[in-house]
């Protein structure tokens, strides 16, 4: 049984939202987008919003930061966090690649990337040694954002990889051979600790763990942390948990704040000060093949992901988040924080 069996808890999702089905077929698109919400209107609103948030622009990392978004618990917000953080970092001016490493292909769907069975995908990279550059696609609507999609083929990769040479480091090699300049690579992992996740952990230096503000939030994390230690010890000495992000935070419940406090006590500085609120807009966006940043740029969900991205970017160059407020003096930060984080 999956460890996310607590879905019937007090914070069940009010809008379950269409998802990719287990065979990888696209989610239902029967609900049309709002008529008056034109792409140009959205883009303009988005630009204003992003500029307001980005202030004088964010520092770019010296070298590409490869962040592995992992938690073997299902449904905690890995994919949502991957795509929305990636879009936020791109809107802040970075060049960002999302690698979809989940056979469900949810990240590809959410980014509006075609990933039917014949599309060149991360499966070809891992199993057939195809260069990453041959599968990467630009994400429509978000400049600087790219995606290496997952197709249903990837479901067989866990088994097929077993007999291949350097089975744990195939993604790492593909990334090293990729010559396009990138500021960030975000890897969306499946909810398991198999060879796909191990490939991600070997390829990246940073692990980003989304934690849902739910009962049992920390359950099973020990196993992930032990795997991180193992991979660090044997295959990737640079690997460390750099970032914990609290997701689906509902400020109205005492449970959420208790969980947040527990996570902060347990992990300390790795936990971002920004947490992501539970937001209907966040859960609606993927069914339109969009991130919340383009779907509803003014929503609290969009603003909180922009803020989390800012925090991650600043930490990456060693600037303390608070110090940034003082140094760059983005006047509306406090106000934005208040809107974005409920």
Ligand X SMILES: Nc1ncnc2c1ncn2[C@@H]1O[C@H](COP(=O)(O)OP(=O)(O)OP(=O)(O)O)[C@@H](O)[C@H]1O
Binding site for ligand X (CB under 6 A): 13, 17, 19, 74-80, 102, 106, 191, 247-248, 276, 278-279, 282-283, 301
Dig out the tokens for 221 from the structure.
């994390």
Q: What is the DSSP letter of 111?
A: T
Q: Among residues 106 and 324, whose Cβ is nearest to ligand X? A: 106
Rounded to whole angstroms, what are the CA distances from 246 to 81, 211, 243? 10, 5, 10
CB of 161 to ligand X, least distance (A): 19
Q: Among residues 244 and 248, whose Cβ is nearest to ligand X? A: 248
Which stretch, 78-86, 108-116, 154-162, 273-281, contacts Mg ion (CB under 5 A)?
A: 78-86
Q: Among residues 149 and 301, whose Cβ is nearest to ligand X? A: 301
CB of 16 to ligand X, least distance (A): 6
How crowded is residue 284: how many other Cβ atoms within 10 Å of its Cβ?
A: 20
78 binds Mg ion (CB under 5 A): yes
CB of 40 to ligand X, least distance (A): 26
φ/ψ of 247, rounded to 5, equals -115, 160
Q: Among residues 55 and 277, whose Cβ is nearest to ligand X? A: 277
Q: Among residues 55 and 210, whose Cβ is nearest to ligand X? A: 210
Q: Among residues 75 and 316, whose Cβ is nearest to Mg ion? A: 75
Q: Among residues 21 and 261, whose Cβ is nearest to ligand X? A: 21
CB of 8 to ligand X, least distance (A): 14
* CA proximity to 86, closest of 324, 314, 312: 312
CB of 4 to ligand X, least distance (A): 7
Number of residues that bind Mg ion (CB under 5 A): 3
CB of 188 to Mg ion, least distance (A): 6
Dig out the tokens for 92 from the structure.
């802040």
CB of 83 to ligand X, least distance (A): 8
Q: Per residue, what are the HEC states of 234-302?
A: HCCCCCEEEEEEEECECCCCHHHHHHHHHHHHHHHHHECCCCCECCHHHHHHHHHCCCHHHHCCCCHHH
Rounded to whole angstroms, what are the CA distances from 300 to 114, 231, 234, 248, 279? 28, 36, 41, 12, 7
Residue 75 touches which member of Mg ion, ligand X, none, C-beta under 5-8 Å by kind: ligand X
Q: How far apart are the C-alpha atoms of 150 and 297, rounded to whole Å?
A: 26
Which of 20, 64, 72, 79 forms a contact with Mg ion (CB under 5 A)? 79
106 binds Mg ion (CB under 5 A): yes
Side-chain half-sphere exposure of 165, counting CA atoms within 13 A: 3
The secondary element (H helix, E strand) that includes residue 124 is: helix 122-128
Residue 13 touches which member of ligand X, Mg ion, none, C-beta under 5-8 Å by kind: ligand X
Binding site for Mg ion (CB under 5 A): 78-79, 106
């Amino acid at each position: 049984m999956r460890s996310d069996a607590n879905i019937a808890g007090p914070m069940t999702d009010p809008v379950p939202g269409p998802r990719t089905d287990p065979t990888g077929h696209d989610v239902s698109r029967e609900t049309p987008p709002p008529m008056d919400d034109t792409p140009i209107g959205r883009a303009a609103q988005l630009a204003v919003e992003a500029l307001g948030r980005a202030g004088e622009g964010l520092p770019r990392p010296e070298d590409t930061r490869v962040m592995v978004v992992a938690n073997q618990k299902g449904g905690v917000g890995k994919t949502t966090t991957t795509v929305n953080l990636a879009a936020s970092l791109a809107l802040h001016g970075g060049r960002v690649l999302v690698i979809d490493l989940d056979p469900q292909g949810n990240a590809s769907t959410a980014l509006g990337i075609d990933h039917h069975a014949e599309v060149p995908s991360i499966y070809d990279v891992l199993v057939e040694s195809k260069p990453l550059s041959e599968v990467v696609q630009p994400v429509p609507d978000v400049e600087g954002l790219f995606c290496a999609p997952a197709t249903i083929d990837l479901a067989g990769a866990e088994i097929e990889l077993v007999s291949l040479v350097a089975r744990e480091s195939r993604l790492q090699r593909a990334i090293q051979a990729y010559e396009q300049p990138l500021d960030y690579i975000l890897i969306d992992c499946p909810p398991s600790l198999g060879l796909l996740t191990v490939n991600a952990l070997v390829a990246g230096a940073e692990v980003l763990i989304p934690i849902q503000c739910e009962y049992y939030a920390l359950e099973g994390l020990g196993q992930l942390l032990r795997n991180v230690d193992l991979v660090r010890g044997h295959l990737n000495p640079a690997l460390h948990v750099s970032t914990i992000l609290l997701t689906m935070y509902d400020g109205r419940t005492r449970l959420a704040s208790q969980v947040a406090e527990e996570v902060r006590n347990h992990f300390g500085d790795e936990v971002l000060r920004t947490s992501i609120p539970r937001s209907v807009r966040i859960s609606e966006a993927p069914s339109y093949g969009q991130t919340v940043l383009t779907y509803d740029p003014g929503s609290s969900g969009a603003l909180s992901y922009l803020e989390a991205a800012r925090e991650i970017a600043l930490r990456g160059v060693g600037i303390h988040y608070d110090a940034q407020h003082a140094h760059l003096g983005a006047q509306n930060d406090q106000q934005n924080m208040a809107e974005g984080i409920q």
